Structure 1
Amino acid sequence: MIGENLSGPRSWRVRAGIALGLILAVTGCGSAASETAGSTTDPDAAGSTVNVAAAADLKYALDELIEEFAEDHPGVEVAVTYGSSGNFAAQIRNGAPFDVYLSADIDLAQDLAADGFGDPDSVFDYAVGRLVVWAPEDSPADVEAGIEGLVSEDVRTVAIANPEHAPYGEAAESAMETAGVAEELQTKLVLGENIAQAAEFVLSGNADVGIVALSLALSPPMTGAGSYAEVPLDSFPTLRQGGMLLDDATAEDEDFVDFIGSEQGQATLSDYGFYPPAGED
Structure 2
Amino acid sequence: MKRLLLATCLFGFAASAQADEVKVAVAANFSAPMQKIAADFEKATGHKAVLSTGATGAFYAQIKNGAPFEVFLAADDETPAKLESEGLGVKGSRFTYAIGKLVLWSTKPGFVDPQGEVLKKGGFEKLALANPKTAPYGLAAVEALKKLGLAEAVQPKLVQGETITQTYQFVASGNAELGFVALSLVWKDGAIANGSAWVVPADLYSPIRQDAVLLSKGASQPAAQALLQYLRSDAARAVIRAYGYAF
Aligned length: 232
Distance across 1 between alignment mates of 2:58 and 2:167? 16
Q: Quote the Cα distance in structure 1 between the aligned partners of 2:66 and 2:166.
A: 25
State how far apart, in whole Å, the 1-side matches of 2:206 and 2:107 are: 27
Aligned counterpart, 2:71: 100
> Is the partner of 2:92 in helix, strand or coil?
helix
More helix as a share of residues: 2
RMSD: 2.0
Indicate the residue corresponding to 1:270 in structure 2: 241
Deviation at 1:59, TM superposition (A): 1.1
1:30-179 pair list within 5 angstroms: 45=17, 47-74=19-46, 76-137=47-108, 141-146=111-116, 148-179=117-148
Question: Counterpart amino acid of 1:108?
Answer: T
Amino acid at match of 2:90: D
Unaligned runs of 5+ in 1: 1-40, 277-281
Query: Secondary structure in 2 aligned to 1:121?
Result: coil
Q: Structure 1 residues 143 and 210 mapped into 2: Cα distance closer, same or farther (>3 Å)?
A: farther
How much does 1:153 deviate?
3.8
Q: Normalization by structure 2: what TM-score?
A: 0.88
Matched ranges for 1:248-259 at <5 A: 248-249=217-218, 250-259=221-230
- CA contact under 8 A between 2:25 and 2:53: conserved in structure 1? yes
Q: Percent identity?
A: 36
When normalised by structure 1's length, the TM-score is 0.78
The one-letter amino acid of 2:132's match is: P
CA contact (8 A) 1:133 1:143 kept: no
Q: Which letter maps to 2:208?
A: L
Distance 1:112 1:56 in 2: 19
Output one character per residue of 1:41-67: Cα deviation in whole Å (capped at 9) or x when no partner.
Answer: 769747421100010110111111111
Structure 2's unaligned 5+ residue stretches are 1-11
Q: Quote how far apart the aligned CAs of 1:142 are.
A: 2.4
Q: Give the greater-gyration-radius structure (CA).
A: 2
- 1:130-162 per-residue CA deviation (whole Å, 9 max, x = no partner) reads 0011100268x424241x422434211011110
Change beyond 3 A, Cα 1:223–1:234: closer
Distance in 1, Cα, partners of 2:177 & 2:224 = 41
Q: Could you report, residue by residue, the CA deviation over 1:179-234 in whole angstroms, capped at 9, with x for unpaired residues?
A: 110111111111111111101110111110011101101159x9543122200000
